[in-house]
Amino acid sequence: MADERELIERIAGRVGVRGEVVTGVGDDAAELANGMVMALDMLVDGVHFRRSTHSPADIGHKALAVNLSDIAAMASDPVAALIGLGIPPDITADDVDEMYGAMEEMAAHYGFTVAGGDITDAPVLILAVTVTGRMRHGVRPVLRSGARLGDRLVITGALGGSAAGLLILDDPLRGDGLPERDALVGRHLRPTPLLSQGHHLADCGAGALMDISDGLLLDADRMARASGLCAEIDLDAVPRAPGVDHVAAALGLEPDLLASTGGEDYALLAAIAPGVALPRDTVVVGRMIEGPPGVIALRDGCDVTPVQLGWEHGHRSGL
Amino acid sequence: MADERELIERIAGRVGVRGEVVTGVGDDAAELANGMVMALDMLVDGVHFRRSTHSPADIGHKALAVNLSDIAAMASDPVAALIGLGIPPDITADDVDEMYGAMEEMAAHYGFTVAGGDITDAPVLILAVTVTGRMRHGVRPVLRSGARLGDRLVITGALGGSAAGLLILDDPLRGDGLPERDALVGRHLRPTPLLSQGHHLADCGAGALMDISDGLLLDADRMARASGLCAEIDLDAVPRAPGVDHVAAALGLEPDLLASTGGEDYALLAAIAPGVALPRDTVVVGRMIEGPPGVIALRDGCDVTPVQLGWEHGHRSGL
């Protein structure tokens, strides 16, 4: 199989954009001329979660949260979600109820509707979620392709928490006695979609915006390529969630690489032009420079870009 | 696991309808106040298709067609499709290309855009497709709950072709020497979404409308329950696709039951008030009567309602 970037480029080259569609394959969500955006994410047991460590409510929450994060990255508000549920024989009606309970809780919190979907037999538990959202009046979505030379790259919070939480779920000994254990595991099991931060970044003039689903370096690489630039990331500047260093040390991993390649933090990454005031609660982690499109990771000024930029789930990738 | 109807009722009772959503769980598609509709269907290898008998192009076509059929059942036009693709290790980039080729062909034909989605690893091939459509100006979608006492139930074409085609794919000997072999197999592999017929039925004043995805009896049962009525179907009146009788005979099946319980024909089922002119190319197959909500199948005036009303794929069911 071709790597996922090649595959997506191949698909993008094959499909035409027609009618009311303004932005198609290639961003966090598709955009329609009437101000609607829509995104689809598919979560598969054994790939994006494990029933042994994730409760049905965790799974329902996460499936919806990753999609809402795409809506946040389009600076939009969620309107309706459709849920495709593939269920193996050992899933009970109570499990389904618990999944929908967690999803309905998010719907009530963010003011949207779980509006339908599909249920089918499947060999393993699968959730395919589509969320439709609405751009705020007069605001065009901020695409990942809008970064300009000299822009600062900012993120909305500490990274690595979700990856460290997963490493603890993989082997609970890694979290023994760690005060941040529950917070890290919670970051992994129940990601928070940053909807208001998405609006704030757009209001502050972000030129490019996307969510960090697969790791800062991989997602910065995608933004840089979409914008035809090189993203230079200072690993020293990337804030790490409390406890990440401890978990990294237990595994002999570089904490700065765990934080900047570990996925599923669902923080937002934005490109902000020089001279524009930084949005509140953001941290500058790099800049867009000239060079071959892609990403460079610096530590103490030296290029330490890893081969594996992100924490990809095989071919997992938003189109 | 509870049966699918119970499960969907449980889900429908749990989720609230908010904001711009007009129709949520329970119809072919969700409806928004701005005239958009959206539907999601999930197809799983071994449940809805088999890679041994369905080419990648067949699979791509079918995944999109079943969703477009939901849009037809809302008397709407498709605008954008999102494709969630779960791929096992033995799927090649050429297979993916072939699937998208078939989908792009439909998009060009019907004038919509394949606008994004998601790719992920999965144990078997899975396609989750969301199509967003637009109602024609001034037309509310015709829901499945709108049937009235005395309405005639009409369908848009002969049934049983897809089920007979699948039976031939299961055992090619069943199609040996049958002149309609290719047509039946084609009905199964490449269903046609009846978009213009959906508009025509709405224009002709259909009170209720849905697509026949899981078998006439099962889908009439759903329409009847949603409308609080009893659907009486005359099996003798249900037109059968040429060749269906031959395949049924080879298996010792009743041809009228094969036609009215075999799913995946994707014809449309509408309820038309008495006195209203019948839409062109429709056949009356029954009527809405008083009685316990559900369906009754008559043969020569006798109740022959089977236990298995439709050709369900396990828990498969549109919400």
**Encoding tokens for residue A81?**
């979600």
- B43 three-class SS: strand
Average the pLDDT over each of A279-288, B48-57, B308-317 and give the range with the smallest value: B308-317
Q: Which of B14, B25, B134 sits opposite A116 (nearest CB)?
A: B25
**Encoding tokens for residue B74?**
């809302």
Instruction: Give the number of beta-carbon pairs within 8 Å between A and B.
Output: 297
Q: Quick check: B113 and A19 CB within 8 A? A: yes
Nearest to A169 by CA among A156, A152, A146, A188: A188
Q: What is the C-alpha to C-alpha distance for residues B246 and A293, in angstroms, rounded to an integer?
A: 62
Q: Bridge partners of A268?
A: A211
Judge whether residue B261 has pLDDT over 70.
yes
Q: What is the C-alpha to C-alpha distance for residues B314 and A198, in angstroms, rounded to an integer?
A: 41
What per-residue confidence (pLDDT) applies to B11?
85
Nearest CA in chain A to B17: A113
Contact predicate A153/A214, CB 8 Å: no
Sheet of B30-32, strands arranged across:
A317-318, B113-121, B76-87, B126-135, B36-44, B30-32, B21-23
Contact predicate B39/B130, CB 8 Å: yes
Residue that has been written with the tokens 């000997």 in this structure: B173
The string of pLDDT tens digits covering residues A138-150 is: 677 788 899 999 9
- A161 three-class SS: helix
**pLDDT bucket at A18, cuts 50 / 70 / 90:** confident
pTM higher than 0.80 for the full model?
yes
> Which residues in chain B are contacts of A36 at CB distance < 8 A?
34, 36, 132
Judge whether residue A12 has pLDDT over 90.
no
Q: Which domains does chain A have, with CATH numbers?
A: 16-135 (3.30.1330.10), 144-303 (3.90.650.10)
The string of pLDDT tens digits covering residues A185-229 is: 999 999 999 999 999 999 999 999 999 999 999 999 999 999 999
Nearest CA in chain B to A112: B18
Q: Which of A8, A38, A318 sits opposite B80 (nearest CB)?
A: A38
What is the 3-class SS of A242-301, one letter each residue? CCHHHHHHHHCCCHHHHHHHCCCCCCEEEEECCCCCCCCCCEEEEEEECCCCEEEEEECC
Nearest to B144 by CA among B195, B78, B198: B198
Q: What is the C-alpha to C-alpha distance for residues B228 and A62, in angstroms, rounded to an integer?
A: 37
User: With DSSP H G I counted as helix, E B as strand and the rest as coil, what are the percentages for chain B, rounded to 5?
Assistant: 35, 25, 40
Handedness of CA A231, A232, A235, A238 (dihedral sign): negative
Q: What angle do CA A289, A293, A295 make, to 5 degrees?
A: 70
Q: Quick check: A1 and B87 CB within 8 A? A: yes
Contact predicate A142/A74, CB 8 Å: yes
Q: How far is A292 from chain B (nearest CA, A)?
A: 26
The string of pLDDT tens digits covering residues B171-216 is: 998 988 899 999 999 999 999 999 999 999 999 999 999 999 999 9
What per-residue confidence (pLDDT) applies to B290?
96
- What's the mean pLDDT when you consider all of chain A? 91
Judge whether residue A299 has pLDDT over 50.
yes
**Encoding tokens for residue A70?**
């795409």
Percent of chain A with pLDDT over 90: 76
Q: What is the C-alpha to C-alpha distance for residues B220 and B306, in angstroms, rounded to an integer?
A: 13
DSSP string covering B193-227:
--HHHHHHHHHTT-SEEEE-SS-HHHHHHHHHHHH
Q: Quick check: A18 and B112 CB within 8 A? A: yes
Contact predicate B162/B260, CB 8 Å: no
Q: What is the DSSP letter of B277?
A: P
Q: How far is B86 from chain A (nearest CA, A)?
A: 8
Contact predicate A305/A218, CB 8 Å: no
* C-alpha gyration radius of chain A: 19
Residue that has been written with the tokens 């990856």 in this structure: A163
Q: Which of B39, B111, B126 sits opposite A126 (nearest CB)?
A: B126
Q: Which of A103, A104, A121 sits opposite B44 (nearest CB)?
A: A121
> Which residues in chain A are contacts of B91 at CB distance < 8 A?
1
The string of pLDDT tens digits covering residues B138-149 is: 677 788 899 999
What per-residue confidence (pLDDT) applies to B143?
86
Nearest CA in chain A to B33: A79
**Encoding tokens for residue B277?**
């002119």
Total residue length of chain B: 319
Q: Bridge partners of B81?
A: B114, B131
Judge whether residue A47 has pLDDT over 70.
yes
Q: What is the C-alpha to C-alpha distance for residues A31 and A143, in angstroms, rounded to an integer?
A: 10
For the CA atoms of A19, A20, A24, A28, the dihedral, rounded to the nearest 10 degrees, stands at -170
**Encoding tokens for residue A306?**
């890893």
Long-range contacts of A6-14 (CB under 8 A, 24+ apart): A6/B93, A7/A315, A7/B93, A7/B96, A7/B119, A8/A317, A8/A319, A8/B119, A10/B93, A10/B96, A10/B97, A11/A319, A11/B96, A11/B97, A11/B100, A12/A319, A14/B97, A14/B100, A14/B101, A14/B104
Per residue in A90-100, is it b (16+ CB within 10 Å) or e — as a string? ebeeebbbbbb
Which of B4, B121, B316 to probe by mutation at the A interface, max A CB count within 10 Å? B121
Average the pLDDT over each of A85-89, A121-125, B279-283, B311-315 and give the range with the smallest value: B311-315
Residue A137 CA, distance from chain mean position: 25
